[in-house]
Amino acid sequence: MDLNKLCPEIPKVELHAHLNGSLSRATMLQLKRYYADVGITDTSDAFLDEFQIGAGDTRNLSDCFQVFNIAHRLTRTPEALAMATTLTLKEFQEDGCCYIELRSTPRETPFMTCRQYIETIAEAMRNNAHLPIKSRLIVSINRTSSIKEAESIAELAISFHKQYPDIIVGIELSGDPNVGRFEDFIPALTSARFAGLKVTLHCGEVCNPQEVMEMIQFKPDRIGHGVCIHPDFGGTEETWQALCKSQIPVEICLTSNINTKSTPDYNSHHFKEFYKANVPVIICTDDKGVFSTSLSQEYRICADVFDLQPAQLAKLALNAVDHIFAEEERKAIKEKILNFINKNSL
Ligand code: 6MZ
């Protein structure tokens, strides 16, 4: 079976996609045209060229946090942010994604408050509710922010979760993993969790076994990356056993880990160990714009590198549905994937 044909066709779910990291070049160019039309000074095309971090790039994980400023410049008005959300949802849909949890960090800009930032994305998602792709929002806390800022983002997430229960489903911790301490964010994350929001944490993107243990003990609903958890990849026997025992699902971002040099190459990616040990895994893109990838490309790479058969690939998509935060969507999405499996005799 031709994987290049199969991977876009499998109905897939995306559970780890940062909005501003997901902007494609086409979306960025469209946003630039919008700024020109409304007469706001924007960026040069050369500036856009810095956005993508490809395979041979010399930039590493720490450097990559600079590139998000490029996307941030393009999403600083509510109109542009709404356009970015809509265009990104449509691109995921065209790639065969039937459910997405987009995540984004509320930012105050000269044109909007943090409150308006969340409201704009939530409204854009509502306006696109008629599309085949179902979408939800996870509010991000950047770990480089202060405790006070994190608490105010959590409060906003809680109040919007009440106002948009059909859209805002979770909260997450991301940003440069070499900055900030997880323990400082526990009160903000705990209050969000008590209010009914699900929690996902960037965990073990760099080597920090103590923080990995604290995160696993917090019992998040999912974790992202999990690069440095297995002892062969910078974790310890203790972190690995704790993860296996917890059965916390892991959002796996293959190309992101390679292009940021968190992992040397695809063959040595920790996916292999996780899959073998039956740790629940979900294939995701992370920042499809920055890393020039797509969800179907990540599925294809996974199949190629780890020698997965089409049926195993479809099973990965099916199993991912158990971990989506909008529990009310699970049944319909499972049916869609099962129909695909049956129709293709996988
Ligand atoms: C940690 C990441 C990330 O929120 O402005 N972000 N955090 N590790 C990663 N691995 C590469 N990729 C993206 O999207 C951009 C923001 O997402 C987080 C960073 O905080 C980045 O500024 P939003 O939509």
For 141-192, the three-class secondary structure string (H helix, E strand, C coil) is: EECCCCHHHHHHHHHHHHHHHHHCCCCEEEEEEECCCCCCCHHHHHHHHHHH
Sign of the C-alpha dihedral, residues 101, 105, 106, 109?
A: negative
Helix, strand, coil % (nearest 5) of the chain? 55, 15, 30
CA 109 to ligand 1 centroid distance, Å: 17
200 CB near ligand 1 (under 6 Å): no
**Predicted pLDDT at 63:** 87
pLDDT of residue 45: 65
Question: Tokens 């946090």 map to which residue?
Answer: 65
Question: What is the pLDDT at residue 48?
Answer: 79
Dist. CA 70–CA 47, nearest whole Å: 7
Tokens 């190629």 correspond to 304
109 close to ligand 1 (CB < 6 Angstrom): no
- Spatial strand order of the sheet with 250-252 comes to 12-18, 97-104, 134-142, 168-174, 198-203, 222-225, 250-252, 281-283
Residues of the chain with pLDDT under 70: 42-46
pLDDT value of residue 136 = 98
Q: How far is the CA of 21 from the centre of ligand 1 (A)?
A: 7
Q: Of 172, 169, 276, 260, give the one whose Cα is nearest residue 224.
A: 172
- To test the pocket of ligand 1, the residue of 14, 66, 67, 68 to mutate (highest count of ligand atoms within 8 Å of its CB) is 68
Q: Please give the distance, rounded to the nearest whole angstrom, from the Cα atom of residue 198 to the centre of ligand 1.
A: 19
Q: How far apart are CA 85 and CA 20, in angstroms?
A: 9
Residue 149 is among the residues annotated as catalytic for this protein: no
Q: What is the DSSP letter of 128?
A: T
Report the distance separating Cα 157 and Cα 12, nearest Å: 26
The DSSP H or E segment spanning 320 is helix 310-320
3-state secondary structure of 281: strand
In the prediction, which pLDDT does 133 show?
Answer: 98
Q: What is the pTM of this model?
A: 0.98
| Ligand 1 centroid from CA 85, angstroms | 15
Kindly report the CA angle at 208 between 204 and 214, in degrees rounded to 5? 80
Alpha-carbon distance of 332 to 335, in angstroms, equals 5
Chain segment 126-174, per-residue pLDDT in tens: 999 999 999 999 999 999 999 999 999 999 999 999 999 999 999 999 9
Looking at residue 42, what is its pLDDT?
64
**Greatest extent of the chain over all pairs of C-alpha atoms, in Å:** 57
Nearest Cα to 322, choosing from 248, 258, 261, 256?
248
Per the residue annotation, which of 205, 211, 273, 298 is the catalytic one? 205
Q: Which atom of ligand 1 is nearest to the CA of 174?
A: 7
Instruction: Give the pLDDT of residue 43.
Output: 63
